[in-house]
Chain A
Amino acid sequence: MQEYFIIIISAVLVNNIVLSQFLGICPFLGVSKKLSASLGMGGAVSFVLIIASFITWVLQTYLLTPLNITYLQTIAFILVIASLVQFVEMVIKKFSPPMYKALGIFLPLITTNCAVLGVAIINIQNEYSLGKVMVHSLSHAAGFTLALLLMSGIRERLEDADIPESMRGTPIALIVAALMSISFLGFSGLT
């Protein structure tokens, strides 16, 4: 039980996927201008991240390792993720049109989100069991959503701030991310 707890704390706070592992920076900077959009992106990424972690773990454990073809890992994983994103898009479109409308534009972007592939590879590298894989990817998904929500909250306020002209847009967003990252460094004593 304690092991799982450590995984959760470490993935959400200490090794936050965006602020200390630098995975998924593109959506973090790209869609964090509005709170609602970032909630949608967080939801979509979490969804794909969790399913992808499960499938890639099964693939690795029951196909790649027994057949001794682990060198195909990168190709196999990215194909799984790309087709999964397509599949999820179709399923959501069919069964939940309102959700599709909310997530629609974010779904295709997830294929090139390095957070999904990154977590899948970290799962394998750490040689987690299936239970730990699920907890680990769930916590990383939560960490991603948390970072995205915090960031969009700050950026909505920044709209009214008086920022030097050349720092507007991405530069100031990066500085904000730096300050958030510094505060997340404070969690590093937790585990």
Chain B
Amino acid sequence: MNLKDQFTRGLVQENPLFRLLLGMCPALAVTTSVNNGLGMGVAVTGVLLASNIVVSAMRKVIPSSVRIPAFIVIIATFVTITDMLMHAFTPALYTALGIFIPLIVVNCIILGRAESFASRNTMLPAIVDALGMGIGFTVALVMVSAVREVLGAGSFFGLPLLPENIPALIMILPPGGFIALGCILGLMNKFQRKTA
């Protein structure tokens, strides 16, 4: 498989959120505004990229019987670094994402890619894979949060779009996350069936 295919695979065919249904918790919790969704996506992409590089570089050193704990330690290290960086440089986003930053460590996407891809491939494909999956996840988060922010707060990226009395507050409350993601997944199934 060439590198370009690997990259687009994470974006479309195996999009972590829409196709593989991984990383649902942050996708529902932080997508109340496009800003938060984008921030979460970038943070996950960063951790995924760093952990894929290290796991791939160390794949011959780590004995296979302790590989999962080893991967978890590697991932947790990068999550801690990300947590500190965000605390220092983007305090507003850090407060908005709150507990979901340390919880990146249990995001199944990252451990999944480490186990199923990075530990079996050389560094270059691992980097491409991380970028594809990470950007695919970010795009998906931005889509969900765009729907929720436009319908729920009547704005996009903080810019007001709709008059004040139109937005349905429910879309930025917890139920809105389930509704938005459920509808997007249903629509995707419908379109996929048409093209197939």
- Give the interface of A toward B (CB within 8 A): 19-26, 29, 71-75, 78-79, 82-83, 111-114, 117-118, 121-122, 125, 164-167, 170-175, 177-179, 181-182, 185
The residue that A74 contacts in the complex, of B28, B102, B179, with Cβ under 8 A, is: B102
Query: How many A-B contacts are there with CB distance less than 8 Å?
Result: 117
- Interface bin, chain B: 35 or more
A74 in contact with B175 given A29-B21, A166-B190 (CB within 8 Å): no
- Residues from chain A with a CB closer than 8 A to the CB of B25 are 22-26, 114
Q: Is B108 touching A26 in the complex (CB atoms < 8 A)? A: yes
Q: Is A25 touching B24 in the complex (CB atoms < 8 A)? A: yes
Q: List 17 A-B contacts (CB under 8 A).
A: A19-B174, A22-B25, A23-B25, A26-B25, A74-B76, A74-B79, A74-B83, A82-B72, A117-B103, A121-B103, A125-B99, A164-B186, A166-B187, A166-B189, A175-B182, A178-B176, A185-B175
The answer to whether B60 has its CB under 8 Å from any CB of chain A is no
Q: Is B178 touching A181 in the complex (CB atoms < 8 A)? A: yes
> What's the Cα separation between A123 and B59 when bound, in Å?
36
A78 in contact with B24 given A174-B185, A182-B170, A185-B175 (CB within 8 Å): no
A114 in contact with B106 given A71-B84, A122-B99 (CB within 8 Å): yes
> What's the Cα separation between A178 and B193 when bound, in Å?
25
> What's the Cα separation between A79 and B29 when bound, in Å?
24
Q: Is B102 touching A29 in the complex (CB atoms < 8 A)? A: no
The residue that B186 contacts in the complex, of A113, A121, A166, with Cβ under 8 A, is: A166
Name the distance in Å between A88's Cβ and chain B's nearest Cβ. Answer: 15
B28, B69, B84, B186 pick with most chain A CB within 10 angstroms: B186
B22, B111, B178 pick with most chain A CB within 10 angstroms: B178
Q: Which residue of A lies closest to B28 (CB)?
A: A22
Bits for B48-81, please: 1 = Cβ < 8 Å to A, else 0.
0000000000000000000011001100110110
